[in-house]
Every structure is written in structure tokens, then in C-alpha cells.
Amino acid sequence: MARKDPDTETPVDEAFRPTLAWMANEIAAGRAPHAANVPACSADIWDVITGIIADYGETLVTLPEASWETSVSQWHGERWKVLVDLYTAVEGRSDLVMDVDIAETETGFEYSLHLVYVP
């Protein structure tokens, strides 16, 4: 079970990684992630995300395992706030992060994409 420590940032729990990697790979492919446990973000939010990525000026690539060495999560009362470090073709690890909230549900976890940005 993922740690629920509101005072400490921790590595992203193993249970979250497959879905987060899928989400990052969908974004890298230019698609808004959407699945049973990943509600679609609004068209406005997707436009903001694609604009930020375009302005960044680099091409996102498939999320490597190395991302989990630097990505973090933290419990915020009813959900985890997760920042996943994204990678580009030229830079490797970029300054961009994928900001996702993860909530526990009766059937598992629900992942809500908030933004991709440079913190």
C-alpha cells in the first residue's frame, strides 16, 4: 500500500507506475490519456498542456525507468499528488513534469491529470 505521509515526499509507489507511465507515453504520442481509471481532462486543459509542450520546444519520448528515480509523490489528505519527470529526445530528463492526483476508490485508484509544466 502506498504511503500516506503528509509530511514527506516519497518515491512514486510501484502500484502507480504502470498507469502513470502509460499516461506519460500517451502525452508523448500527442494523445490525451483517457481510460476507465483515468478520466479525460477537459479540452481546455489539453490545449494548455499541448501549448506548454510546444513552447518547451523539445519532443517528449517514452517514459524510461530512470524517471522513477527522481519522480515524487506525497499524500494530501484524500489523494496523492504525484510529479513525474518527463524525458525528451534531446535532453533526456527534461524540466517538464506531469502533475497527477491519485485517489483511492472502491475498485482501485483513479488518476486525474492536472497539467504538464515546468515547475
Give the per-residue pLDDT at 2: 83
The pLDDT assigned to 46 comes to: 96
Question: Which amino acid is residue 110, in one-letter code?
Answer: E
Residues of the chain with pLDDT under 70: none
Largest CA distance in the chain: 41
The predicted structure's pLDDT at residue 33:
97
Q: What's the gap between Cα 103 and its chain centre?
A: 13
Report the pLDDT value the prediction gives residue 3, as an integer from 0 to 100: 84
How far, in whole angstroms, is CA 76 from its chain's centroid? 16
The pTM assigned to this predicted structure is: 0.95
Beta carbons within 8 Å of 18's beta carbon, 6+ residues apart: none
